[in-house]
Amino acid sequence: MSNQAAVNRADFDQVMVPNYSPSKVIPVRGVGSRLWDQEGREFIDFAGGIAVNCLGHCHPALVNALTEQGNKLWHLSNVYTNEPAIRLAQKLVDATFADKVYFANSGAEANEAALKLARRWALDKFGAHKDQIISFTKSFHGRTFFTVTVGGQPAYSDGFGPKPGAIEHVAYNDLSALAAVMSDKTCAVMIEPLQGEGGVISPDVEFIKGVRDLCDQHNALLVFDEVQTGFGRTGSLYAYEQLGVTPDILASAKSLGGGFPIGAMLTTAAIAEHLKVGTHGSTYGGNPLACAVAEAVFDVVNTPAVLDGVKQREQLFKQHLADINSNYSVFKDIRGQGMLLGAELSDAYTGRARDFLNAATDAGVFVLMAGPNVIRFTPSLVIPEQDIAEGMQRFAKAVASLVG
Ligand X SMILES: *Cc1c(COP(=O)(O)O)cnc(C)c1O
Whichever of 53 and 228 has its CB closer to ligand X, that residue is 228
Q: How far is the CB of 196 from ligand X (least distance, A)?
A: 5
Q: Is 395 a catalytic residue?
A: no
228 belongs to the binding site for ligand X (CB under 6 A): yes
Whichever of 52 and 66 has its CB closer to ligand X, that residue is 52
CB-facing half-sphere around the CA of 15: CA atoms within 13 A: 6
Residues near 101 by beta carbon (within 8 Å), at least 6 away in sequence: 88, 89, 92, 93, 264, 265, 266
**Segment interacting with ligand X, rule: CB under 6 A, options 72-80, 135-143, 342-350, 362-370:** 135-143
Which residues are bridge partners to 250 per DSSP?
A: 224, 266
Q: How far apart are CA 216 and CA 271, in angstroms?
A: 14
Q: Which listed residue (45, 254, 366, 387) is catalytic?
A: 254
Q: Is 140 a catalytic residue?
A: yes
Residue 237 sits at φ, ψ, to 5 deg, of -55, -50
Q: How far apart are CA 24 and CA 34, in angstroms?
A: 17
What sign does the dihedral 5-52-33-372 (CA atoms) show?
A: positive
Q: How far is the CB of 144 from ligand X (least distance, A)?
A: 8
Question: Within a 10 A sphere around the Cβ of 384, how many other Cβ atoms?
Answer: 14
Whichever of 115 and 253 has its CB closer to ligand X, that residue is 253
Q: Which listed residue (225, 317, 331, 377) is catalytic?
A: 225
Cβ pair 47, 367 in contact under 8 A: yes
Q: How many residues does the chain have?
A: 404
| Residues 187-226, mask of contacts with ligand X (x by CB under 6 A) | -----x---xx---------------------------x-
Which residues from 247-276 bind ligand X, rule CB under 6 A? 253-254
Whichever of 107 and 285 has its CB closer to ligand X, that residue is 107
Cβ pair 138, 314 in contact under 8 A: no
Q: What is the residue type of 377?
A: F
**Segment interacting with ligand X, rule: CB under 6 A, options 32-40, 80-88, 102-110, 212-220:** 102-110
Q: Is 103 a catalytic residue?
A: no
- The catalytic residue positions are 140, 225, 254
Which residues contribute to the site for ligand X (CB under 6 A)? 106-108, 111, 140-142, 192, 196-197, 225, 227-228, 253-254
